Structure 1
Amino acid sequence: MDLPPQKLYKYIPPARIDILQNLKIRFTQPSALNDPFEFNLLFSEIVSTQQLRDHYEKADKQELILEAIKELPDDQRALFALVSKEQLFQMFEQFISNMFNAGKVNDIHRDYIAPLTPKLKEGMYEGLNKIIGILSLSATPISPPMWANYAENSTGFVLEFDTTHSFFNGRRSEKDEFYHLRQVIYDDRQPSATMMDMPFDTFVLKSKSWEYEQEWRMLLPLDLASKKFITDFGDEVSLFDVPASCITKIIIGLNARETKINELLEVLVASSHFDHIDLERIHKGPTGFKLERFKKE
């Protein structure tokens, strides 16, 4: 896994100065992001007929039979007690082998497995949407499309974060999906044949059309949010505490209004938590944006 650059950036519209005022930042559920294909589950079916057949061949038939009998009512279960286990297993093996031929596997798959795929996808997406929040950051602070799309046409700000801060390094194990930064993979993939074949990078996979964002992201469980509320539009918002010490710089947009700049400065000088933060402002260079130092008054 690649290490993130030491600095990453969050583009914010001018109204989001409250991130600094309250030191809380939103981790957004997939359905509220601007890419409608976030967490797209790239598989065509749950399991293939061959995988279904292989699973049956490898299954412990005796254990399956005993578990099925345990689920029966007492009177029916008593009937099976009249025969020996050897006879029972032999009887069921013959019955299942007659049922579970190639044609029957195809029928079972068509009638029962295939119809479950869309329902399973929907259920999995709804489940992920309820439990996972995403903080999206960029590797560049001077992307004109990013300033236009996420900082309200360059009227907003960019927050610079120190990725070595403990806030971004809380991973509990190598398999932990949460509490650490991960680079987004940009790839136009076709769906896998089955869910079992699907690559396990769904949380960081986006199409190449988003490659200009140079995104890194961190996931957190939404149930750990320090504040939750529902907007007037019905959107669920989950805010997490963000330490001021992980913010190292604020970059003012090219078209930022003086009133918003003054509001930002008031927030910064009001608390010693922000003494370490540098200020810069975007300007037009000969071929693109450039950064110049901005003095705190």
Structure 2
Amino acid sequence: MLYKYLPPERVDVLEAMRIRFTSVVSLNDPFECLLKIGEHEYAVDPNEAKNSTKFLSLSRNHQNLLMWAHYADCHKGFVIGFHRGNGFFKNSNTVRYRKLRSDLNGAQPHRLASQEITKAIALEKAIDWAYEEEERLFLDDVPNDLVLVGKDYWQQSILLNSFPKDSLAAVYLGVRASNSLISRIEIALSNMILRYQSIVLERAKGSFQLLLMSSEKLNKVSHGDIYGIAASPTFRSRAC
């Protein structure tokens, strides 16, 4: 699966079945909008970035404590799991992590079609980010059904694209998720006529890990534990 970490206020992703595809200008890594060519460095002009490559950042890991802290509002948010084999997500690209910066961010223009060069440039990051295990899904590689909902801090358009219901595999809630967030997610899945069941994770006692909770403990679960919902669009009825 591929996973998207989100803060609680982004529950609209499940309610509207739309998710943001972002320009490099709006990312949290200041090197993302820079391009090195030899001894020269070029920056993406924010005023021209509206035509730049846009993508959805995903992870191969849904149990990373740092990711929960950084992208899911200190474990108060949630993670959506998507079926990687679904047609919408099958063309995701693995990010390369490097200690040193490469010319054109490691892209090799002589080996790529022109439309692939900008994607390759956006797939190299500093090794410091390797813990994210990132995959990037480019807007050019999925059906476009975009809705503009405003501008971000960098004055870049916030574009939300729909994703197919059958790509949804699971939803995991953080150890600090509120009852109201859990309720809104359950309602969102119910409205999609998805069958779902509880998947509960707990904090390991002997290590810094999130583990599957044993079945005998399930009846003692509180919302203070990691809680997940596995969604299966192949079923039409709701089951808890």
TM-score, with normalisation over the residues of structure 2? 0.74
Match of 2:148 among 228, 243, 267: 228
Match of 1:271 among 167, 174, 192: 192
| Alignment check: 8 A CA contact 1:137 1:216 kept | yes
- Does residue 247 (structure 1) correspond to residue 160 (structure 2)? The answer is no
Aligned in 2, Cα 1:268/1:34: closer, same or farther, shift over 3 Å? same
Who is 2:117 aligned against?
Answer: none
| Alignment check: 8 A CA contact 1:228 1:237 kept | yes
Letter in 2 for 1:149: H
Pairwise CA distance, 1:199: 3.9
Q: How many residues were matched structurally?
A: 203
Higher strand share: 2
Match of 1:37 among 31, 35, 38: 31
- Does residue 283 (structure 1) correspond to residue 202 (structure 2)? The answer is yes
| Alignment check: 8 A CA contact 2:33 2:43 kept | no
- Does residue 138 (structure 1) correspond to residue 59 (structure 2)? The answer is yes
Match of 2:123 among 190, 195, 204: 204
Aligned in 2, Cα 1:224/1:264: closer, same or farther, shift over 3 Å? closer
Question: Is there any run of 5+ residues in structure 1 with no aligned partner, and where?
Answer: 1-6, 46-116, 170-179
SS at match of 1:134: strand
| Alignment check: 8 A CA contact 2:46 2:156 kept | no
| Alignment check: 8 A CA contact 2:50 2:156 kept | no
Pairwise CA distance, 1:38: 1.2
Letter in 1 for 2:199: E
Match of 1:163 among 68, 81, 84: 84
Question: Is there any run of 5+ residues in structure 2 with no aligned partner, and where?
Answer: 110-119, 214-226, 230-238
Residue correspondence of structure 1 range 71-150 to structure 2 within 5 A: 121-122=42-43, 127=48, 130-150=51-71
Q: Give me the whole-angstrom Cα distance separating, in 1, the residues matched to 2:179 and 2:10.
A: 16
Q: Give me the whole-angstrom Cα distance separating, in 1, the residues matched to 2:80 and 2:28.
A: 20
SS at match of 2:184: helix
Pairwise CA distance, 1:270: 2.2
Q: Give me the whole-angstrom Cα distance separating, in 1, the residues matched to 2:129 and 2:88.
A: 26
Pairwise CA distance, 1:220: 1.0
Aligned in 2, Cα 1:190/1:19: closer, same or farther, shift over 3 Å? closer
Larger Cα Rg: Structure 1 or Structure 2? Answer: 1
Pairwise CA distance, 1:223: 11
| Alignment check: 8 A CA contact 1:136 1:215 kept | yes
Pairwise CA distance, 1:267: 1.4
Aligned in 2, Cα 1:251/1:270: closer, same or farther, shift over 3 Å? same
Superposed CA RMSD in Å reads 2.8
Letter in 1 for 2:3: Y
SS at match of 1:166: coil
Pairwise CA distance, 1:131: 3.0
Pairwise CA distance, 1:42: 2.0
Q: Give me the whole-angstrom Cα distance separating, in 2, the residues matched to 1:285 and 1:260.
A: 24
Percent identity over paired residues: 26
Higher helix share: 1
| Alignment check: 8 A CA contact 1:252 1:280 kept | no
| Alignment check: 8 A CA contact 1:184 1:206 kept | yes
Q: Give me the whole-angstrom Cα distance separating, in 1, the residues matched to 2:138 and 2:126.
A: 19
* Deviation larger for 148-157 or 34-43: 34-43
Q: Give me the whole-angstrom Cα distance separating, in 2, the residues matched to 1:209 and 1:217.
A: 17
Match of 1:217 among 136, 148, 151: 136
Instruction: Write out per-residue CA displacement over residues 118-172 of structure 1, whole angstroms, 9 at most, x where no aligned residue.
Output: 6xx3468865653321111111111000000000011111111101101023xxx
